Amino acid sequence: MSKKIPSLSVITANRLSDGAVVFLDFEGAWNTDFAQANIASSPDEVRALEDRGTYDAQRNIIVEPYLVELRELDGRLVPIRQRERVRIAGPSILAAVPGYVAPPVAEDEDITQEAA
Amino acid sequence: MYRYDEFDREFVRQRVAQFRGQVARRLSGELTEDEFKPLRLMNGVYLQLHAYMLRIAIPYGTLSSRQMRKLAHIARTYDRGYGHFTTRQNLQFNWPALKDIPDILDELADVEMHAIQTSGNCIRNVTADHFAGATAEEVADPRTYAEIIRQWSSLHPEFSFLPRKFKVAVNASDADRAAIKVHDIGLQLKRVASGGLAFDVYVGGGQGRTPLIAKLIKEDLPEEHLLSYLEAVLRIYNLEGRRDNKYKARIKILVHELGAEPFAAQVEAEWERIRNGALKLPQDEIRRIETYFALPVLRSDLPKAKLSAPDRGFERWVIRNTHTHRHAGYAIVTVSLKPIGGVPGDASAEQMDAIADLAERYSHDEVRVTHEQNLILPHVAKADLPAVYKALKAIGLAEANAGLATDIIACPGLDYCALANARSIPISQAISERLAAKQDVIGELKIKISGCINACGHHHVGHIGILGVEKRGEEHYQLLLGGSGAESTALAELTGPGFGPDGIVDAVETVVDTYLRLRRGPEENFLSAYARLGMQPFKEALYVAEAA
């Protein structure tokens, strides 16, 4: 976890079972859709996100949680770092990958329950 | 081909079963990530930017058709329909679910493959000249020795927790196609005056954040002493290598800090102690393993290749993508995984199946993976070249660009890699499209792109190297010139300030156009021209034009 508390952030991680990129959403679930991510806009809210990430990593729901700092750009909130923008959007070159098969669109599996 | 013995077979099966249990315990929460991470890494499983990644070992880049078909099957069944061939002659799947990986490893074990030692601080997959066993240039097949090293280094109890990862490459021709001088140990096989085979041993090369060219520390090491000498090198490294700082933990730093001669002296002292012990290789064992790689029975009575009509595309492909075979009636074929504007090193499941079919039908059941992210059909009868070309064309893999400007090495970069700072593949695609029309005029040119300082894209040894960095959250690219991973190994030099994602493509074209303008003729390749001209004219073209 970053020592510096960013002001405007979401928390991301990888889903344990398949490694998919997930974000903590408004309902406290880990969601693959960045648009549903819960955005913290104060240091207390950021700390709460961090705590939840640590807790869910300990519960073996997600792996390697960390904060992603955002900024406003053209009326939208986007990550400051290109790395995180690529992480959200996925590989930029999939259209050129030979034989690429997109995964079937599925409802996010419920991974909010603690592993047995 | 290498052959599993009963030990290999049983061990790999046991390891898969063991890992299956570890994955189950991880998924059930019995193991924490901190406990599980070293276990998954020992089995080639990384967690990347978007998903898990599984790296599969391809010993010295040699595959059978059956193995290639299995990789295609895994791509189709468990991943997203493709695989990525790497600069260490391995294959990576970018999207496996953790829960499926034990099944994938079981499938691999069915064809004598695994992912062991493709990660972690151990001796990694041993690489070799991808033309091994087929080229007339070599003194002997380097894979014999790569296989001996594979057997010795697999699960070596003393070397399973080294200060850092350890990479060995073996070459046996005057032309270095294995980039031996940028490996932790590079072995150059040669025939000595007595008629026997011996090695020149280079130690302490590598790229990454501290690029260094390996030092020659032992000449004419008789082949029977290969393992005892390697054991001595590894032992000194294991004892003396730094464990306090991972950025200074590679053997190259140890050799650099101690000095090559003092390091060699320590190795020599240790070697004297063990050289005639259990690791001394019996001649009959070397010759036995040599038979694994025996040249297939090749025919001398084949007709000449016949085309139904003149085909300029075929002629270009033969010139660019075939290499002289040791047998006059045969050729070594490079299957370019670099279609114009494509993703370097990627192949679809269908392409892998098709290559397996071609290997079975036309190349004595063998495929090779090159460190330049292409595939090789090592034993193709010249009479079959038109048929092979036609089949490759049908699957989009007949680009006649081996060694040209569009035959670009690129690491996965920020599109996949958790360590990367910038994307490599889109830069490669853009350069490929930009230079495609003039690549024949440019001639031999090796462009290599890495998305971070770890240098998996070998930018330090590119004739033109590109390093992606992060600058205030955005991608930025440094440009380097004059490197080489071949026998005249050289590290590329930085041109000056870097460029944005669009500017770097223009910059590469500026370098290429400057070379075309200043070269003495087509016979003076880029590297030779750079050696003559130096950095200055390129720098002027890049930065004076920019400032104007």
Q: In chain A, which residues have their Cβ closer than 8 Å to the Cβ of B37?
A: none
Q: Do B473 and A96 touch (CB under 8 A)?
A: no
d(CA B293, CA B131): 12
User: What mean pLDDT comes out for the span B135-149?
Assistant: 97
The CB density around residue B201, as the number of other CB atoms within 10 Å, is 24
Give Dmax over CA atoms of chain B in angstroms.
69
Q: What pLDDT, on a 0 to 100 scale, did the predictor assign at position A116?
A: 37
Cross-strand pairs, B479: B466
- Strands B215-222, B447-450: pairing is unpaired
Q: Do B27 and A57 touch (CB under 8 A)?
A: no
| Mean pLDDT value across chain B | 96
Show the 3-state SS of B64-112: EHHHHHHHHHHHHHCCCCEEEECCCCCEEECCCCHHHHHHHHHHHHHCC
d(CA B417, CA B380): 36
The CATH code of the domain that includes B242 is 3.30.413.10
Q: What pLDDT, on a 0 to 100 scale, did the predictor assign at position B540?
A: 97
Task: Please identify among residues 48-67 of chain B the ones whose CB lies closer than 8 Å to any CB of chain A.
Answer: 48-52
Which tokens sit at B162?
A: 């080294």
Identify the band that residue B537 occupies on the pLDDT scale cut at 50, 70 and 90.
very high
B14 alpha carbon, distance to own chain's centre: 28
Domain count, chain B: 4
pLDDT digits (tens, 9 = 90+) for B380-408: 999 999 999 999 999 999 999 999 999 99
Cβ of A93 under 8 Å from any chain B Cβ?
A: yes
B141 and B268 assigned to the same domain: yes
Q: What pLDDT, on a 0 to 100 scale, did the predictor assign at position A82?
A: 95
Q: What pLDDT, on a 0 to 100 scale, did the predictor assign at position B8?
A: 85
Instruction: Give the three-state DSSP class for B149.
Output: helix
User: What mean pLDDT comes out for the span B237-245?
Assistant: 96
User: Which residue range(s) make up the domain with B481?
Assistant: 409-547
The CATH code of the domain that includes B329 is 3.30.70.3340
State phi, psi for B329 to the nearest 5 degrees. Answer: -85, 5
Count of residues making up chain B: 548
Q: What pLDDT, on a 0 to 100 scale, did the predictor assign at position B524?
A: 98
d(CA B437, CA B516): 14
B140 and B261 assigned to the same domain: yes
Q: For residue B403, is it within any domain?
A: no
Query: B541 near B515, Cβ under 8 Å?
Result: no
Q: For residue B78, is it within any domain?
A: yes
Query: B451 near B424, Cβ under 8 Å?
Result: yes
Q: In chain A, which residues have their Cβ closer than 8 Å to the Cβ of B342?
A: 96, 98
Q: For residue B217, is it within any domain?
A: yes
B325 and B372 assigned to the same domain: yes
d(CA A114, CA B28): 9
State phi, psi for A76 to the nearest 5 degrees. Answer: -120, 155
The CB density around residue B510, as the number of other CB atoms within 10 Å, is 19
Identify the band that residue A1 occupies on the pLDDT scale cut at 50, 70 and 90.
very low
Residue where a domain stops, chosen among B338, B362, B394: B394
d(CA B189, CA B172): 5
- Residue of chain B whose alpha carbon sits nearest to that of A17: B98
B451 and B523 assigned to the same domain: yes
B22 alpha carbon, distance to own chain's centre: 30
Task: Say which residues have a Cβ less than 8 Å from residue A15's Cβ, sequence separation at least 6.
Answer: A21, A22, A30, A32, A61, A62, A63, A111
Q: For residue B118, is it within any domain?
A: no
- Strands B91-93, B52-56: pairing is antiparallel
State phi, psi for A67 to the nearest 5 degrees. Answer: -80, 145
Query: B5 near B62, Cβ under 8 Å?
Result: no
Q: For residue B120, is it within any domain?
A: no
Residue where a domain stops, chosen among B345, B364, B394: B394
Task: Name the amino acid, one letter, at B43.
Answer: N
The CATH code of the domain that includes B90 is 3.90.480.20
pLDDT digits (tens, 9 = 90+) for B73-129: 999 999 999 999 999 999 999 999 999 999 999 999 999 999 999 999 999 999 999
Residue where a domain stops, chosen among B342, B369, B394: B394
CA distances from B161 to B127, B155, B209 (A): 20, 10, 22
Q: Do A98 and B348 touch (CB under 8 A)?
A: yes
pLDDT digits (tens, 9 = 90+) for B428-451: 999 999 999 999 999 999 999 999
B6-31 core/surface letters (b: 16 or more CB in 10 A; e: else): eebeebbeebbeebeebbeebbeeeb
Least confident of A99-108, B173-182, B483-492, B522-531: A99-108
Which tokens sit at B402?
A: 């081996």
- Strands A76-79, A62-73: pairing is antiparallel
Identify the band that residue A104 occupies on the pLDDT scale cut at 50, 70 and 90.
confident
Cβ of B521 under 8 Å from any chain A Cβ?
A: no
Examine the pLDDT at B482 and tell me if it is beyond 90: yes
Cβ of A28 under 8 Å from any chain B Cβ?
A: no
B416 and B538 assigned to the same domain: yes
Cβ of B34 under 8 Å from any chain A Cβ?
A: no
B158 and B255 assigned to the same domain: yes
B280 and B417 assigned to the same domain: no
B80 and B174 assigned to the same domain: no
Nearest one of B343, B348, B412, B338 to B46, comparing CA atoms: B412
Task: Name the amino acid, one letter, at A58.
Answer: Q
Q: For residue B486, is it within any domain?
A: yes
Cβ of A15 under 8 Å from any chain B Cβ?
A: no
Cβ of B415 under 8 Å from any chain A Cβ?
A: yes
Q: For residue B37, is it within any domain?
A: yes
Q: What DSSP letter does each residue of A60-107 carry, written as one string?
A: TSEEEEEEEEEEEETTEEEESSHHHHHHHH--TTGGGSTT--PPPP-P
Residue with tokens 């770890």: B454
d(CA B3, CA A104): 39
User: What mean pLDDT comes out for the span A93-107?
Assistant: 88
Q: What pLDDT, on a 0 to 100 scale, did the predictor assign at position B419?
A: 96
B424 and B374 assigned to the same domain: no
Q: What pLDDT, on a 0 to 100 scale, did the predictor assign at position B77?
A: 98
Examine the pLDDT at A115 and tell me if it is beyond 60: no
d(CA B332, CA B325): 6
B252 and B335 assigned to the same domain: no
B284 and B340 assigned to the same domain: no
| Better pLDDT: A112 or B308 | B308
Identify the band that residue B304 occupies on the pLDDT scale cut at 50, 70 and 90.
confident
HSE-CB for B306 with a 13 A CA cutoff: 4
Range list of β-strands (E), B204-269 = 215-222
DSSP state of B543: I
Identify the band that residue A2 occupies on the pLDDT scale cut at 50, 70 and 90.
very low
Nearest CA distance, B412 vs chain A (angstrom): 10
State phi, psi for A12 to the nearest 5 degrees. Answer: -125, 165
CA distances from B431 to B102, B292, B374, B404, B405 (A): 39, 41, 18, 12, 8
d(CA B410, CA B292): 33
B157 and B272 assigned to the same domain: yes
B336-354 core/surface letters (b: 16 or more CB in 10 A; e: else): bbbbeebbbbbbbbbbbbb
Identify the band that residue B547 occupies on the pLDDT scale cut at 50, 70 and 90.
low
The crossing angle, in degrees rounded to 10, of helices B385-394 and B312-321 is: 100
Q: What pLDDT, on a 0 to 100 scale, did the predictor assign at position A114?
A: 46
Cβ of B475 under 8 Å from any chain A Cβ?
A: yes
Cβ of A14 under 8 Å from any chain B Cβ?
A: yes
Q: For residue B238, is it within any domain?
A: yes
